Chain A
Amino acid sequence: MNIALGLLVELGYLGIKLLYAYIIHDTGVHISGFAPQSLFLFIGTFILMTVFFVAMLQFNIMAFDRQIIEGEFDLILTKPVSAQFLATLKYVETWMVIPNIVVGLGLVGYGWYESGIAFNIANIGLYLAYGVLGIVTMYCVFTLPLLLTFKLHNISALHSLIWAVWDFNNLPHRIFPSPIQIIGTVFLPIFLITNFSPLAVMGELSNVEMVWGGIAPILLFMMTCWGWKRAIRAYESGGG
């Protein structure tokens, strides 16, 4: 029953995204130089990344502050595996993401074909490599703010901000004014999550962007692990 309800909700969200994609396609307008067909590549990638977001992060983010406030984190700290791994990737959702996988792959395939991108190992490798780097970036961008829970305990306002930030990835970041592009690429690199893999196969990434797309996720991951170690050192345990 729970699985069926979850699937229904997810299908609803997906329906809204598809309607949005259809309207863009139907208008035939080029956005920031991208043809409507190629936008499907971005929207499809966004939907596929949503798979990882929902499957790996969403429920862990929602449950994270409760673990700290109620002291469930105590038991995690006594387990002989990485506490960061256990606490941030504890819940994995599988069933709810199935519609996103199907539709996301379909849209990426359609956008890829319509954009005339060669379907060869080099392009697939490039797309997957930036995809994996995007997943690493996504993990770090959404995990780093959680560390504030160790200090502030209640971060419900931050949750709302996190969901809002996620929706920035719906369309290519080139549509935003350049200050926002720089902020979203360098300082809070949310645009690296879903934009770089389609841009890379379309040959739209500059050399600097390609290098940054490779380095930033690694730096972010190192920063997250470092922040995590400092945060749990100061952990004061809740719930008696």
Chain B
Amino acid sequence: MNVIEVEGLSKTFKFYRKPQGLSASLKNLWRRQIEYKEAVKDVSFSIEQGQVVAFLGSNGAGKTTTMKMLSGILHPTQGKIKVLGHTPSEREERFKKRFSILMGQKHQLWPDLPAIDSFTLCQRIYEIPTSLYKQRLARLSEVLSVSHLLDIQVRRLSLGERMKMELIAALLHGPELLFLDEPTIGLDFLSQRAVMRFLQQLVKEDNLTILLTSHNMADISALCERVLVIQNGQLIFDDGIASLQNSLGGLRRIHIESETPLHSDLLRRYGKVINNDIHRAELEVADGAANQVLQQLLNEIMIKDIRVSAPPLEDSLERLYSHQGQVA
């Protein structure tokens, strides 16, 4: 069953230019230079229940605008959207109770109040029965290890703790669909891991559907099975993570650790040298050639350790953008 269905979605924003200086400001009072930006152009896709999908793209590519249209914050200029069977732009209360949106740079908790007070407000807003609310709050705060922080003013918490509280607020009403817009932005790696581990657990236990935007590829690799890539408002990729890594010619990375010095001239005979710091090197080779190169390296070099991996997701994305003529 499709939770999200998007067809021919477009969004155009109107904006004004104001050249430098006072005279330009005065001129702008009666005649302004109007311009239009197509933030999203003819985007179509669907997402099934229980899928965790990454929505990737460079800054200004149209990810957040699309997510805001899916959650009913923005009205589309053109196209059709159905989310959980509702049209988001109608902003029905029944629809709003079935999803949640978490934006890493915007907060719903009241900074001057303890998180528990904001959670009580969420309980009232979403009309969550008290017993269910208590049960969910206990579970979420325990899994995220913040039970002891619930009665502390939110502004006194660390960024990681605040984000965990935001997650609790977003999940208290038991949404079927979760929009996450850069949920780990600004967090240290320990907090990032804690949040990601929690989301993995949630997906497994609650069959939640998630659409996630992030610039952190570790988040994406850890959580998502499918990737949508948007560039200049257009959807340029829609497939699994492995396909993205293999797109535009599959490549493999060979990581070598040697007891004897590694010479770049020698390594270049086998593939592209990504880096070489004498005893450790990273080599990029074609997918089909990896086995052969591995055997040759083992014969020629005193290997201490060797392993093969897929190239980082960032590299695959960069090549995809390059291919589209838009190097990030």
Contacts and interface: CB of A to CB of B under 8 A. Distances in A.
A80 B95 CA distance: 8
Given A78-B96, A79-B96, A237 B68 contact: yes
A78 B106 contact: no
B298 interface: no
A225 to B, nearest CB: 15
Interface stretch (B71-79, B253-261, B318-326): B71-79
Interface string A77-105: 11111000000000000000000000000
Contact of B73 (A70, A237, A240): A237
Nearest to A82: B93
A75 B125 contact: no
B72 A80 contact: no
A74 B102 CA distance: 11
A235 B74 CA distance: 7
B62 to A, nearest CB: 12
Contact of B108 (A71, A75, A80, A239): A75
A81 B100 CA distance: 14
A71 B71 CA distance: 14
A80 B68 contact: no
B2 interface: no
Interface residues of B, number: 23
Given A79-B125, A236-B13, A71 B106 contact: yes
A197 B91 CA distance: 39
Interface string B80-104: 0000000000010110110111010
B127 to A, nearest CB: 8
Given A75-B108, A237-B73, A239-B106, A80 B93 contact: yes
Nearest to B65: A237
Interface in B249-297: none
A233 B75 CA distance: 7
Contacts of B28: none
Contacts of A72: 106
A228 B179 CA distance: 26
B237 interface: no
B97 A78 contact: no
A221 B13 CA distance: 31
Contacts of A78: 71-73, 96, 99-101
Interface string A49-71: 00000000000000000000011
A79 B118 CA distance: 13
B105 interface: yes
Contacts of A70: 106
Contact of B72 (A71, A77, A239): A77
With most chain A CB atoms within 10 A of its CB, the pick from B93, B100, B106 is B106
A71 B105 CA distance: 10
A219 B105 CA distance: 39
B133 interface: no
A237 B75 CA distance: 10
A84 to B, nearest CB: 12
A80 B101 CA distance: 13
Interface in B148-192: none
A81 B125 contact: yes
B74 A240 contact: no
Contacts of A77: 72-73, 91
Interface in B47-84: 64, 68, 71-75
A62 to B, nearest CB: 15
With most chain B CB atoms within 10 A of its CB, the pick from A70, A74, A81, A235 is A74
A236 B126 contact: no
Given A74-B73, A77-B73, A80-B96, A239 B105 contact: yes
Contacts of B93: 80-81
A72 B105 CA distance: 10
A75 B106 contact: yes
Contacts of A236: 13, 74
Interface in A188-240: 233, 235-237, 239-240
B109 to A, nearest CB: 10
Contacts of A80: 93-94, 96-97, 125-126
A74 B96 contact: no
A81 B94 CA distance: 10
Contacts of A239: 105-106
A79 to B, nearest CB: 6
Interface of A: 70-72, 74-75, 77-81, 233, 235-237, 239-240
Interface of B: 13, 64, 68, 71-75, 91, 93-94, 96-97, 99-101, 103, 105-108, 125-126
Given A75-B108, A78-B100, 19 more contacts: A71-B106, A72-B106, A74-B68, A74-B73, A74-B103, A74-B106, A75-B107, A79-B96, A80-B93, A80-B125, A81-B93, A233-B75, A236-B13, A236-B74, A237-B68, A237-B74, A239-B105, A239-B106, A240-B64
14 contacts: A72-B106, A75-B106, A75-B108, A77-B72, A77-B73, A78-B71, A78-B101, A79-B96, A79-B125, A81-B93, A235-B73, A236-B13, A236-B74, A237-B74
Closest 8 CB pairs of A and B: A80-B96, A80-B93, A75-B108, A74-B73, A80-B97, A77-B73, A81-B125, A78-B101
